[in-house]
Structures are given as structure tokens and as C-alpha cells.
Amino acid sequence: MKRSTIRIWFIVHKWTSLVSTLFLLMLCVTGLPLIFHDEIDAMLGEDYEAQLPGAPSAQAGLSLDAMLTEALAQRPGEVPLFMAFSNDSPLLTVTTGPSPAAAESEMTLLFLDRATGQVIGPAPSGGVMDFILSLHVDLFLGLPGMLFLGAMGLLFVIALVSGVVLYAPFMRRLEFGTLRTARSVRVRRLDQHNLLGIVTLGWALVVGLTGVINTLADPLTSQWQNGELAQMTAQYSGSAPLDPADYASLDTAMAAAQDALPDRAPQFIGFPGGAFSTAHHYAVFFQGDQSATQFLLTPALVDARDATLTDARAMPAINQALMLSKPLHFGDYGGLALKLLWALFDLATIWVLWTGLMLWLRREPGRIERRIDEIASGAASGLGRSARA
């Protein structure tokens, strides 16, 4: 590799790292407790599912219509927005709001026990974990904050790629994993930065790319709603929105949806007027029937006036990638063991970011040129060995 090429890669690595480092440190620090969100909720007594005994069938129990009536009795004057299911217990949730197009801040999430019909209570809000999640997701800025963090994630991925390009020729002069402990603090810090960076590379790329995809959740959902969802329900175009008083039986609608997608478990229902449905349909989302596809959702659209099936089809590939990226981002695929591994890599990445920042803040005059010379000499020695071979 020519010295001029190395300089370009070095500049790319330096500035993509510097611009994104502080935000990435924040994401890594806030991401650490979010990895164990379920465990922390259970410790704080906020995991309602853990408090309910498991059921032979997660869909057994009282009718959906009865559960919806019970939930709406707790929120008079409001309309249903979502109903979600647990496939491991009788827990069921109903989200309500003042109107079908209610903002998230106006929504109320209620927990119910489908086995008994008992309302367990509304979801706690305003806690520490909600604060951490909002900071991690959008910096309390909504969609602009999400897109900004997505840009920082993209810079992070570029910094990783450019770091690998620079690491390869530099390590031709040293054995892999070398830590020059007898050298200066700066050299020791550089070796730690390089070694942990290359060890965590695969994990960092996965988390970085899935993080970027996750920041596009709202635009991708809108694109699906305005595109494929609109095509599926074109016959309803121009019709007046359905009044909540005219909604058909949920149980009949669920039966129609399950006939279209048999042997799958429903994950949630989007009521008419929301982002995941139309003004005339129940959108019943079913999860995949295998462990590898459990996070892939397929919607069945049921006419909310007469509970007849309109259409059922898989979502576009980009939306499926979004569904897979969310659990992968937080290590939700493999239970506690994978979460612990995710936490270990997260801590290592924090150290990589911190050492990189310290290397920049405590740089010396002429150090950059000497660093480029070191990498260039490593590349040259590698070419020399190849030629002799």
C-alpha cells in the first residue's frame, strides 16, 4: 500500500472516529443496562409476565372481546390501539388512547391476565429504564435524534473498516496480540486500542449496522404503510374511517387471520387508524413458527366491520431486516448467556473508544506522520516478504 493511500485511510479513520466517539460512548454506556432490560424489570418488580403462572396454551383463556371490554372499562372514553400477546404466559396487554391516531405520549398500556380476566395494572412510566431507553434511541429528540444517531452509527462502521485497513499492514511488523508493555504509556494504550478493536470487530460491525437499521424504523414503517399496505387495501381507498363503535368481534377476526396463517402464534393486533393498520382493518401480526424466524412478523389484514380476511402476505425484505436487527442489537436471541457475551463486548468497545479518544487528546507534534511511517513500513516489509517468497 502506498504512503499516500495510507494517509487517506488514516484521515478517514481519524475523523470518522473523532466525530462519532462521544456519541458512541453514550450509546455503549446506555446500551449496557438495556441488554439486561428484562432482568432489571424483574428485579424492580415490573415484569408482570414473570408474576403469572404459565399456561398450556398462551392463547387459552377468556375471549379477546371480553379482555378488550375489561380494558376499555379501565379507560372510559378511549379507544383500543393495540393488543399484544405473550406466548409463554396468559399475559395480555391492551394499549388505549383518546383517538385512533393518538400520539405515543397519549397512550396507556394496560396489563391483563387472560386466564382470570384480571387487570394487573397500567405499565409503569417515567422510570430510570425509560429514561435510558429514550436517551439511547433518539436523544429525546424523536425522529431527528434517531436519524442523527444513525449517522453516527454509519461513521462508526466506516471507522471500523478503515481501522482494519490500517491494522493489517501495521501488524506485519508485530505478532498478532502483541502488547508492548515495556514501552511508553502511549504505545501501551495504542496496542490495547488495536488489539481490543480487532477482537471486537465482528460484534461491533453487527451492533453498529443493526443500530443504523433500527434508527430507520419510523421511515420504513411509513414506507410500508404507504406502499404495500396501501396496495393490499386499495379497494378501501377513499372510504371514511371506521367508527370504533362499529368494530366487529375480535375473536371472529382472529379466527379469520389464523385460517390464513395457520400454525403461527399471534404477537399483536393493530386496531384501525394506527401506523400498523388502515382506517378499516384489524392488522393481526403473526410471528415465525421457528426459533430462527420468531422475530419475523407476517400481517393478516381483516376487515374490522365484518371480520372477513382482506389479505395476508410477508412484509418487504427491508422491513424483515428491521425486525431481525432489533433483537440482535441487544442480544435477545440466546438468553442470558448471549446477553453476558454482549455485555462483555460492550465493555471492551467502551475501552476501545476511550483509548482512541485519549490517543487523540494527548497527541504529540509530528506523531501522526510517524504513525503513518510505521504503517507504511509495515506494508513495505510485507511486500518485501511476498516478493522473496
Edge-to-edge strand list for the sheet holding 309-312:
118-122, 108-113, 91-97, 79-85, 266-270, 281-287, 297-303, 309-312
Q: Give the tens place of pLDDT for each residue, 265-308.
A: 999 999 999 889 999 999 999 998 776 678 899 999 999 999 99
Q: Which pairing describes strands 118-122 and 266-270: parallel, antiparallel, or unpaired?
A: unpaired
> What pLDDT is recorded for position 389?
34
From residue 36, give the alpha-carbon distance in Å to each of 11, 339, 373.
Answer: 37, 7, 44
- Please state the pTM of the whole predicted model: 0.83
> What pLDDT is recorded for position 237?
87
Q: What is the largest CA-CA distance in the chain?
A: 83
> What pLDDT is recorded for position 42?
79
What's phi and psi for 110, nearest 5 deg?
-110, 140
From residue 92, give the alpha-carbon distance in Å to each of 70, 107, 117.
Answer: 12, 16, 10
The residue behind cell 379501565 is 74
- 321 and 306 Cβ atoms separated by less than 8 Å: no
What does the domain layout of the chain look like in residue ranges?
3-38+130-213+334-388
Which residues are bridge partners to 85 per DSSP?
Answer: 92
- Assign 57 a pLDDT band (cuts: 50, 70, 90): very low
Q: Give the tens place of pLDDT for each residue, 230-250.
A: 999 999 988 889 999 999 999
- 10 and 342 Cβ atoms separated by less than 8 Å: no
Angle, CA of 384, 387 and 389, to the nearest 5°: 110
> What pLDDT is recorded for position 371?
65
